[in-house]
Amino acid sequence: MMVPMNAFRIFLSLLGGLLGALLVALPAGAKQPPEGECIVPSKPGGAMFLTCRLAQKALQGKPGAPALKLSYMPGGIGAVAWHTIVSQRRGEPDTLVAFSGGSLLNLAQGKFGKAKPDDVRWVAGLGIDYGVVAVPANSPYRSLRDLMDALRRDPEKLLIGMSGTIGSQDWMKMALLARQAGLDPHQLRFVALEGGGEEFVAMQAGYVQVVSSDVSETGLYTASGKARVLAVLSDKRLPGALAAVPTAREQGFDVVWPVIRGIWMGPDVSDADYRRWVQAFDRAESAPEFARLRAQIGLYPLTLTGDALTRYIRQAVADYKRQARQFNLVREH
């Protein structure tokens, strides 16, 4: 369809006026702030997504931090994202990657190949999560002891959903509980899934009868009445929505499994850009609203950034390595 010439001229005049107004509104020399990226190294719906979402909300409008878009790079509980950034995107100044204690456990076991903690730059810990054992809301098992007794009677009766494979943190949690119940963990039947979102979808569909997961990943499903948590793997009962759920220790199983959640960057990011992000997270985590945002996704206080976080990571990887050796899970390089 042809546009009449007069109408076209009017359109150009209006467009020119709009552009002129925009130019006046922007200070001379002002640049549009770059867009940052937070990579979720799992499929949608799990705690890695929640970690990036928390970073996105906490940094919104804060000085020195561009707006964050979320992207997905699943595989190997962080292995695919790790190798992609370290080999191909080492110096990107505005690319962040979510990590968890599960990432550190795989790093300790050699599942990231020859990778070491100092191969990347650790930016911020956003909070601590804790392991849980959950079942469908209509499950006959009302306590952790009920579940472990059933597994002791018939280890192959129940399918256990977990994120990752043998040696993952979800596997380790159940392995430690099983050993205390007098079971060989290798007798249990696990279904390897990618992320906490898939675990609960599989449980709702009836493909698994138990999930080994984390507090932050269970909130959506417990709030909707679709799942029931049998035990939290914390040293004492947690405040909030799970306050009525006993710890594993209270039920006779001395297993505590904290899970750090946070953000890292590529190894060749400049010191200036690294410090910019560390300072942005320092400001964000000290803001009054951060505690509320953190609690909304089921995380508990932990505030570590920069050098302090790096020291924590080194120690955590060493501790995980000692723990994994109990099950002959460490791949030496």
Mean pLDDT confidence for 53-79: 89
Q: Reduce the DSSP state of residue 261 to 3 states and report it.
A: strand
For position 329, what pLDDT does the model report? 87
Q: Check whether residue 123 and residue 267 sit in a common domain.
A: yes
Q: Are residues 191 and 241 in the same domain?
A: yes
Amino acid identity at 42: S
219 and 77 together in one domain: no
**Rounded mean pLDDT, 231-237:** 96
Determine the angle formed by the axes of helices 101-109 and 306-325, rounding to 10 degrees: 60
Closest CA relative to residue 65, chosen from 279, 264, 290, 261: 279
pLDDT(28) > 90: no
Q: Which amino acid is at 74?
A: P
Distance, in Å, from the CA atom of 139 to the CA atom of 228, rounded to the nearest integer, reads: 8
Task: Please tell me the distance from the alpha carbon of residue 92 to that of residue 73, in angstroms, as a whole number.
Answer: 16
Q: What is the pLDDT of residues 141-178, one digit of tens each?
A: 999 999 999 999 999 889 999 988 888 899 999 999 99
Please give the residue that has the higher pLDDT: either 62 or 112.
Answer: 112
Q: Which helix (H) or strand (E) holds 163?
A: strand 159-163
Q: What are the structure tokens assigned to 324, written together? A: 């994994």
**Higher per-residue confidence, 47 vs 196:** 47
Neighbours of 83 (CB within 10 A): 15
pLDDT greater than 70 at residue 14? no
**Rounded Cα distance, 207 and 200, in Å:** 10
Query: Among residues 265, 257, 266, 198, which one has the least CA distance to residue 42?
Result: 198
On whether residue 156 sits in a domain, the answer given is yes
Q: Which residue has the higher pLDDT, 116 or 326?
A: 116
Q: How many domains does the chain have?
A: 2
| pLDDT of 11 above 70 | no
Is the domain of 236 the same as that of 264?
no
Is the confidence at residue 2, as pLDDT, over 50? no
Same domain, 41 and 190: no
Do residues 162 and 265 share a domain?
A: no
Tokens of 36: 């940052």
- Any idea which of 66-75, 81-90, 187-196, 204-213 has the lowest mean pLDDT? 187-196
Q: Which residues contact 310 (CB under 8 A, 6 or more apart)?
A: 117, 118, 122
Residue finishing a domain among 251, 267, 283 = 251
DSSP 62-77: -TT-PPEEEEE--SGG
CATH classification at residue 291 = 3.40.190.150
CA atoms within 13 A on the CB side of 195: 22
Distance CA 321, CA 333 (A): 13
pLDDT score of 333: 58
pLDDT band at residue 33 under the 50/70/90 scheme = low
Residue numbers of the domain that contains 75:
36-129+258-325
Within-domain flag for 115: yes
Give residue 63's pLDDT. Answer: 76
* Tokens encoding 68: 């964050």
CA angle 282, 306, 257 (to 5 degrees): 95
pLDDT at 280: 94
Question: Between 264 and 7, whose confidence is greater?
Answer: 264
CATH number for the domain including 191? 3.40.190.10
